Amino acid sequence: MRICSVLLVAFLFSVIPVSGQSIDAAERYAIIPYPAQLEPRAGAFILSPTTTIMVPFGQPDLKMLVEAFAHQINQSSGLSIPITNLNKTTPSGNLIQFLPLRDTTLGDEGYRLDITERLVTVEANHPKGFFYAIQTLYQLLPPKVLRKVQIVEGISPLAETSAPHVTSLLPPALSIPACRIQDRPRYVYRGMDLDVSRHFFSVAFVKKYLDLMALHKFNTFHWHLTDDQGWRIEIKKYPRLTQVGSHRRETIVGHYDDHDPQVFDGKPYGGFYTQDEIREVVQYAATKYITVVPEIELPGHAMAALASYPDLGCSPRSLKGETYQVATKWGVFDDVFCPTEKTFTFLQDVLTEVIALFPGKYIHIGGDECPKAVWRKNAYCQQLIKRLHLKNEHGLQSYFIKRIDQFVTSKGRRIIGWDEILEGAGPTTRLSPNATVMSWRGIKGGIEAARQRHDVIMTPSPFCYFDYYQGDPAQEPTAFGGSLPLEKVYSYNPTPTELTPEQATHILGAQGNIWTEYIDSPEQAEYMLWPRAAALAEVVWTPQAQRNYDAFARRIPTHFERLTNLNVNYARTFYDAFPLAKPTADGKVEVTLSTKQPPSIIPEIRYTLDGSIPSGKSPLYEKPIVLEKSTTIRTATFKDGKPLSQLAKIEKDYLVSKATGKSYTLLNAPTGNRPDKNYSLTDGTTGGTGGYEIAGIVTFTNDLNAVIDLGLSQPVERVRIGFLKYTARNVCLPKQVEISVSEDGTTFTPVLTAKTNAAENGKRAFVRLPFDFTSTTARYVRIIARNVGKVPAGLRNPGKAAKLAIDEIEVR
């Protein structure tokens, strides 16, 4: 019997490496980010009333960390685990001991955990290491230990009961699976950004943001405090920055391109942090071993500052005495700081107060997206370019950045700037070696900076911008645009392969960014951040060779339980079931449903065809669905009868008509950027919009002129065409549609000519225009949609060349 048990244990806990991780271990040890080394063991350490935590004498910082750990365990479980610092105490039960050591292989942030059934040993060189070890212990324990609960005497907070009259329950067992871990981070900089300029977030939310960062072992909080839409930090010397610059008169409604003309809510919006609140956040972050990096944008993104102090600008409006306004919509604005001595004095005064508030070594000075139009037209700027022997306005920006760089360096700090700070540098305007570059426009800027021996923080938008869509844009809340699903975040490697080993040492790490143009609440911010930020946490902590997405995906369900207990509104697009359709040879539409999860954890996919929201009793997807008529499919994923998807549905319309799956000839060629792909105008699939993204369309700069072959002669009496109305991008409805029919494909008989409202504005949408005519028999249907030619007056871009965009043609 003992031999069988040993063999069973060996089988259950054997390590089967998958790029450094065991798939079985991934579920039992659901830690994010995954440790550098983890050795599974049989058994578990059980926390109970007889457990003791021991901290050695003379370790006040460590004792503070352990007290917080014990408090969280006790208040969430109903236990009363004591802490002792008597090294020679022999506990009556099992023991958790924290032991400082000196081991250069671990560094300041590394740690060791040795867990057996009787003893948990935690070792580290520095309180930072102990802090990260405690985060790992939290993740080895059941997710409910992270709850913030009110203790009711005699009742365990972890007890599950449906009987409210029960007044005394023993605390359930809390177990830590046995293992040995040796861990340290891959990168020294592991950052997350929060933009509070576009939308303001309370101190309480910022603290919760920091809590979640700490749980995932991030160590740098980039606080984007100023921009065109709001100045959010109190500066004592310049009170108008918050009196004026922290408020805008209204905010654009919906996405930037949703409406033409744009629509505004008419509601004043504002908020800022006092210096006392800034200190409170910085101090709170320090307890989590998180450094706060403030960003003061310059020389661009300055509208809020210019509205407060107009003499800092140099556009014609400032010369005429006209006022600037805090921006009420998103984007990049021509008005920027003027490079006068008055401006530099202002910025140095501001940065002096900022430096006093933030003790970390970095000050972020922006440097991105600075238009040069006003500098180009301004006499002072042109004289300055000549006097300093600069090549052009790009050189003037480099001069501007260098002035700020020199000032910050003189205060014993170092600047971080977006990758544009590399542009325009000449012999006299080169950045100081201390300047760190944050590479956001892909990886090119980071590569160039590292080759110039500047330190680099990688944050390329295709992998690190969490304001992008994470699921189907047509189903998701409004976002900026672009697609960044969870698996793409996880796939990122911050160290470019183009760098030599010496150059690669300048890659400090990576950062996730959340820009809040379309994120106006804490709930929406959390939805966009999690779990993508968890994927990035593993990117910057776990060794590249140890990372494996399938293993990560198997840990996500447990991690979701943690986030639930922390009251986080995380996204569940991880569970979404996506439809993929194709027409059949007999004119139907075949729809396949699938998820992006590893095969081992695919949930149940259920669907409806009647427009209702799927439930656990809806049809179970087992094979492709064949549609014989136009249908809306809604899908959802379930486990044990409970919905897993965020909204319990993904919705998609499919159109079935006599044209479905039929070939056609386009007598006018589509545009090169939106071509026709395999007869996509009759494939039964409708288009979709979201952010700046448009899916499933074919565009034309001239007329649509299509001849559809129905395959055989048959009665027809209606054509319906899906046109995209997107006038903000010069996509207009046609001015006229002409339909004719033929039996031989050569001689066509007109059956309808109809005018349409090409000047229609309003919200962008797909407009499905029906064209009915007297029933006739035909094999071929010819459709001509006349392009309006120029964007009509009254729209955003009157006079510009207009385009047509079509997603689907139906014939009935």
Residue 302 DSSP class: -
One-letter amino acid for residue 121 of the chain: T
- Whether residue 305 contacts residue 241, with contact meaning beta carbons closer than 8 Å, is answered with yes
* Token representation of residue 762: 């309003």
C-alpha distances in Å from residue 196, one per residue of 238, 512, 580: 20, 15, 38
- Pairing status of strand 362-366 against strand 226-227: unpaired
Would residue 369 show up in a list of annotated catalytic residues for this protein? yes
Output phi, psi for 444, to 5 deg. Answer: -60, -45
Alpha-carbon gap, residue 82 to 54, rounded angstroms:
8
Assign 580 to helix, strand or coil. Answer: strand
Distance of alpha carbon 292 from alpha carbon 259, whole angstroms: 38
How many Å apart are CA 425 and CA 232, to the nearest integer?
31
**Is 665 strand, coil or helix?**
strand
Under 8 Å CB-to-CB from 4, ≥6 apart: which residues?
A: none
Q: Specify the residue for token string 């014993």.
A: 412
- Both tokens of 569, joined, read 């509104």
CA of 314: how far to CAs of 53, 317, 386, 542, in Å?
A: 64, 8, 17, 48
Instruction: Please tell me the distance from the alpha carbon of residue 224 to that of residue 241, in angstroms, as a whole number.
Output: 15
Q: What are phi and psi of 449, to 5 degrees?
A: -65, -45
Amino acid present at 112: R
Q: Which residues are paired to 231 by β-bridges?
A: 226
The Cα–Cα gap between 363 and 224 comes to: 11
User: Considering 117, 369, 448, 604, which one is annotated as catalytic?
Assistant: 369
The SS3 call for residue 365 is: strand
* Cα distance between residue 422 and residue 405, in whole Å: 12
**How many Cα atoms sit within 13 Å of 689 on the Cβ side?**
17
d(CA 215, CA 138): 8
Side-chain-side CA neighbours of 608 within 13 Å: the count stands at 15
Tokens 């352990």 sit at which residue? 66
Burial class (CB in 10 A: 0-12, 13-18, 19+), 2: exposed
The DSSP code for 745 is S
Distance, CA of 708 to CA of 748 (rounded, Å): 12
The two three-digit tokens of residue 719, written as one number: 């054509």
Angle in degrees, CA 329, 334, 338, rounded to 5: 125
Give the residue numbers annotated as catalytic, written as ranges. Answer: 369
